[in-house]
Amino acid sequence: MSNSRKAQLNDWVNGQLSQLLELGSVDIELTTVSGDASFRRYFRAQLPEQSFIAVDAPPANENSELFVEIAGYLREAGVKSPEVFAKNYSDGFLLIEDFGDRLYLPRLLTLQEGGLDAISEYQVESLYKDAIRALIKIQSSVDKKRLAPYNRKNLRTEMQLFEDWFCGHYLGLDLSATERDLISSTFAFLEEAALGQAEVAVHRDYHSRNLLILDDARFPEGSGPGIIDFQDAMAGAYSYDLVSLLRDCYIRWSPDLVESLALHYFELASAAGVIEGASASQFRRDFDLMGLQRNFKVMGIFSRLCIRDNKPQYLADIPWLSSIFWKQPPNMGKWLPS
């Protein structure tokens, strides 16, 4: 982000806070919170007793109107998405609710690194069950007709990143026609599997880096995690977000724990009418095949983030995914900084 653009955002935020809080003037210097895999950047406006998040989303690259629209859908569904206090679509600026910095991932990693005993396993399960309950609310309450369809073209475009960026650019493979045909037929099979599932509202990045543990003092109602990075939501396969959550790129759990939490979702989703008439075996098949589709997508995206967008840190999250094909990606060292 250029200094001039940050200064422009800073001035806009101060003006909005002056109006919102009915103060004579506000002079706050924004502090960086984070960036992500997109072009968006996040900053905190800290007041003595309150804070806000300022979003820089360049309009040439990001759709802030869609962000605001879907944030509203999620709040209507009874889950915690940030309230939008001010918006400037022409410049790509937003002022939104601050959920704090307590992402799921650091907490889960801490619990995992300590070795799961009965207490820590209960804490892990509690966090995931909160996220599953929120997911059921999204799937049962957000009108999928208001969202663009997660259709065959979208599914293929995502998986094609695997062939183009992971196999081609990252591994440097010169695939034969037979190998390309095999990949294409595999993609077609996974597309059919996804399109045959019950259709719901899909967050599309429902994982530990986009879920926050909320402060009980600010959110005493205990309505589950704060949910962010939802602007790419579409109407698609019911198992997609569950796979993102339980087979997360950033943390890995035992098959037994994943199975237990997945079946917990299955029971809740069945009771809520999200999935009707599906057997447990069909659910497991849906879950596994959707996981394969998402892994193809993620391996391609992370390779592209490294090579095209100069974000090599994402490569650290590929190895265990790609181990289903190779013990170790041969070109890993090529892209990592020395």
Predicted confidence at residue 297, as pLDDT, reads: 94
pLDDT at 53 over 80: yes
Pair 150, 234: CB distance under 8 Å: yes
CATH number of 104-335: 3.90.1200.10
Q: Measured at the alpha carbon of residue 99, what is the angle toward residues 105 and 199, in degrees to the nearest 5?
A: 70
Q: What is the pLDDT of residues 11-38, one digit of tens each?
A: 999 999 999 988 778 889 999 997 555 6
CATH architecture, range 3-97: 2-Layer Sandwich (3.30)
Helix (H, G, I), strand (E, B) or coil at 226: strand
Residues of the chain with CATH 3.90.1200.10: 104-335
193 vs 318, which has greater pLDDT? 193
> Which pLDDT band, with edges at 50, 70 and 90, does 183 fall under?
very high
Is 125 exposed, middle or buried (CB count within 10 Å of its CB: 0-12, 13-18, 19+)? middle
Q: What pLDDT was estimated at residue 319?
A: 56
pLDDT digits (tens, 9 = 90+) for 65-75: 999 999 999 99
Domain with CATH 3.30.200.20 in the chain: 3-97
In whole angstroms, what is the distance from residue 80 CA to residue 133 CA? 12
Assigned token pair, 312:
């090599």
Above pLDDT 90, what percent of the chain?
76
Which of 210-224, 235-249, 315-329 has the lowest average pLDDT?
315-329
Write down the pLDDT at residue 2: 62
* Residue-level pLDDT at 105: 96
- For residues 208 and 248, the answer to whether their CB atoms sit within 8 Å is yes
Here the contacts of 303-306 (C-beta below 8 Å, separation 24 or greater) are 303/161, 303/165, 303/166, 303/169, 303/170, 304/161, 304/165, 304/169, 305/37, 306/170, 306/335
Q: What is the pLDDT of residues 80-139, one digit of tens each?
A: 999 999 999 999 999 999 999 999 999 999 999 978 888 999 999 999 999 999 999 999
Q: Model confidence at 337, in pLDDT bands (50, 70, 90)?
A: very low
> Is 237:202 a contact under the CB 8 Å cutoff?
yes
List b or e across 34-57, with b for residues whose CB sees 16 or more CB atoms inside 10 angstroms.
eeeeeebbbbbbeeeeeebbbbbb
| pLDDT grade for 4, boundaries at 50, 70 and 90 | confident
pLDDT of the residue at 335: 46
Residue 336: pLDDT over 50: no
CA 96 from chain centre, in angstroms, equals 18
Alpha-carbon Rg of the chain, whole angstroms?
21
Tally of CB atoms within 10 A around 178: 8
pLDDT in tens, 292-331: 999 999 999 999 999 998 888 888 787 554 444 444 444 5
- Stretch 253-261: mean pLDDT, rounded? 95
For residues 64 and 93, give the distance between their C-alpha atoms in angstroms, rounded to a whole number.
Answer: 8
Cα pseudo-dihedral 229, 231, 232, 233, rounded to 10: 100
Q: Kindly list the distances between the CA atom of residue 316 and the CA atoms of 96, 205, 323, 338, in Å, as whole numbers in the listed order.
A: 31, 18, 13, 14
Q: How does DSSP classify residue 146?
A: G
CA distances from 149 to 94, 232, 239 (A): 26, 11, 15
Among 308, 223, 238, 247, which Cα is nearest to 274's? Answer: 238
Give the C-alpha separation, 14 to 28, whole Å: 7
Q: Is the pTM of this model over 0.85?
A: yes
CB-count burial class (<10 Å; 0-12, 13-18, 19+) for 289: buried
**Cα 230 off chain centre by:** 7
| Residues above pLDDT 70, as percent of the chain | 91
Task: Give pLDDT, residue 217.
Answer: 67
Distance of CA 76 to the CA centre of its chain: 20
pLDDT of res. 24: 77
- Give the residue with greater pLDDT, 259 vs 325: 259
Tell me the C-alpha distance between 325 and 328, whole Å.
9
Residue 220 pLDDT grade (very low, low, confident, very high; cuts 50, 70, 90): low
- Report the distance separating Cα 306 and Cα 310, nearest Å: 5
Strands 93-97 and 84-88: antiparallel
Cα–Cα distance for residue pair 125/303, rounded to 1 Å: 31
